[in-house]
Amino acid sequence: MQIPAPYPLSRPRRLRRDAFTRDLVREHRLSPADFIYPVFVLDGHQRREAVASMPGVERLSLDLLLPVAEECVALGIPYMALFPVIDPSLKTPDGAEAANPEGLIPRVVRALKQHVPGLGIMTDVALDPYTSHGQDGVLDENHYIVNDATVAILVKQALTQAGAGVDMVAPSDMMDGRIGAIRQALEAAGLVHTRIMAYSAKYASAFYGPFRDAVGSAANLGKADKKVYQMDPGNSDEALREVALDIAEGADTVMVKPGMPYLDIVRRVKDDFHMPTFVYQVSGEYAMLKAAAQNGWLDHDAVMMESLLAFKRAGADGILTYFARDAARLLRG
Ligand code: PBG
């Protein structure tokens, strides 16, 4: 039979005509369970500081963080990720404070696990909040970030965090071999339940700027960059090699970071490895969406949800995002 030329053979718009049909055929969706909420922790009591470059984000002392943790549970957000703001007097070239069992992070982890046991707690394994130079590792006389000596400190830091009861450690430093070293040490210490989320494909990105303000490492870092250990933004195959190494070394979950500019990497990682794959919508991504929304140039809630949904579509199983609470509230209606 001849189809009359003016009529399309197929009309994809049929499935877009009304909200209930769009709901029926939607391939990817967001849920509060997709989110990990990164927070900045201050020492002391009743302390609350706005982060100028991240509107809506605050550094909080533990007492003010506890209600936030409770709200996460109420909203169905499964994990919170802790980032410390370390007093400058405690920063040293080797970042030794990172392994102090009585340091800020171990104390906060113990309190959160005691008061809000239903919330998963993740901690960053990296030295940059603790070093006087703001790098994620120790330096040699040429200011090169030394790999193996750094890994030895990271292992102590991870053991300290795991000993405090953290549910998942997340090495974000990009030293070679650190996942294997941390996994071996955890096993040897009998800490067999501590999960590792590897920042596997972490790029040397300019989108981390506001985060470095938030933890107070920006001034220490100065004009230095992290290109001798974080990945080159021009590389894609290398991300797969990094992920393969981290899986072989004992990572439970892997991560791509930053997020929006690296959706291609998320997709390749998910397709190749079929691992629980996470993505970090980093501080600079948050800042640019917030800034445009504050100027009235973009619709805040709409771009927030669209950006988060894009991660799911790219293959991510979960998203670290400063929008976690806002988005979960919206999803809960
Ligand atoms: C520390 C760390 C960084 C981020 C997470 N962990 C900064 C960096 O590597 O310089 C960035 C997160 C963000 O920008 O939101 N190693």
Distance from C-alpha of 78 to C-alpha of 168, rounded to nearest angstrom: 12
Where does the pLDDT of residue 4 fall: very low under 50, low under 70, confident under 90, or very high at 90 and above?
A: low
Mean pLDDT score, 77-105: 97
CB hemisphere CA count around 169 (13 angstroms): 32
What are the domain boundaries of the chain? 31-331
Where does the pLDDT of residue 219 fall: very low under 50, low under 70, confident under 90, or very high at 90 and above?
A: confident
Where does the pLDDT of residue 289 fall: very low under 50, low under 70, confident under 90, or very high at 90 and above?
A: very high
Where does the pLDDT of residue 6 fall: very low under 50, low under 70, confident under 90, or very high at 90 and above?
A: confident
CA of 81 to the centre of ligand 1 (A): 12
Distance from C-alpha of 116 to C-alpha of 179, rounded to nearest angstrom: 28
For a substitution probing ligand 1, which of 51, 124, 173, 211 has the most ligand atoms within 8 Å of its CB? 211
Where does the pLDDT of residue 7 fall: very low under 50, low under 70, confident under 90, or very high at 90 and above?
A: confident
Mean pLDDT score, 195-221: 94
CA angle 277, 281, 285 (to 5 degrees): 155
Q: State residue 305's pLDDT score.
A: 98
Where does the pLDDT of residue 2 fall: very low under 50, low under 70, confident under 90, or very high at 90 and above?
A: low
Q: Is 235 exposed, middle or buried (0-12, 13-18, 19+ CB in 10 A)?
A: middle
Q: State residue 160's pLDDT score.
A: 98
Architecture per CATH, 31-331: Alpha-Beta Barrel (3.20)
Is the complex ipTM higher than 0.90?
A: yes
> For the segment 42-70, what is each residue's pLDDT rounded down to a tens digit?
999 999 999 999 999 999 999 999 999 99
CA of 293 to the centre of ligand 1 (A): 23
What is the average pLDDT value for the chain, to the nearest integer?
97
Residue with CA closest to ligand 1 atom 14? 208
Q: Which amino acid is at 6?
A: P
CB hemisphere CA count around 20 (13 angstroms): 0
pTM (global) more than 0.90: yes
Mean pLDDT score, 211-233: 92
Q: State residue 3's pLDDT score.
A: 61
Mean pLDDT score, 8-16: 94
- Active site (catalytic) residues: 202, 257
CA of 23 to the centre of ligand 1 (A): 36
> For the segment 224-277, what is each residue's pLDDT rounded down to a tens digit?
999 999 999 999 999 999 999 999 999 999 999 999 999 999 999 999 999 999
Distance from C-alpha of 272 to C-alpha of 238, rounded to nearest angstrom: 13
Judge whether residue 1 has pLDDT over 80: no
Judge whether residue 8 has pLDDT over 90: no
- Measured CA to CA in angstroms, residue 98 lies from 163, 211, 308 at distances of 13, 18, 32
- In the numeric block, the tokens 């629980």 are attached to 276
Q: Which atom of ligand 1 is nearest to the CA of 283?
A: 15
Q: Which amino acid is at 54?
A: M
321, 20 in Cβ contact below 8 A?
A: no
Q: Is the CB of 124 under 6 A from ligand 1?
A: yes
> For the segment 110-157, what is each residue's pLDDT rounded down to a tens digit?
999 999 999 999 999 999 999 999 999 999 999 999 999 999 999 999
Q: State residue 150's pLDDT score.
A: 98
Q: Which amino acid is at 122?
A: M
How is residue 222 written in tokens?
Answer: 């100065």
Q: Can you say how many angstroms the Cα of residue 273 is from the centroid of all Cα atoms in its chain?
A: 20
Q: State residue 94's pLDDT score.
A: 96
Distance from C-alpha of 311 to C-alpha of 318, rounded to nearest angstrom: 8
For a substitution probing ligand 1, which of 85, 172, 207, 262 has the most ligand atoms within 8 Å of its CB? 172
Distance from C-alpha of 246 to C-alpha of 63, rounded to nearest angstrom: 36
DSSP 236-267: SHHHHHHHHHHHHTT-SEEEEES-GGGHHHHH
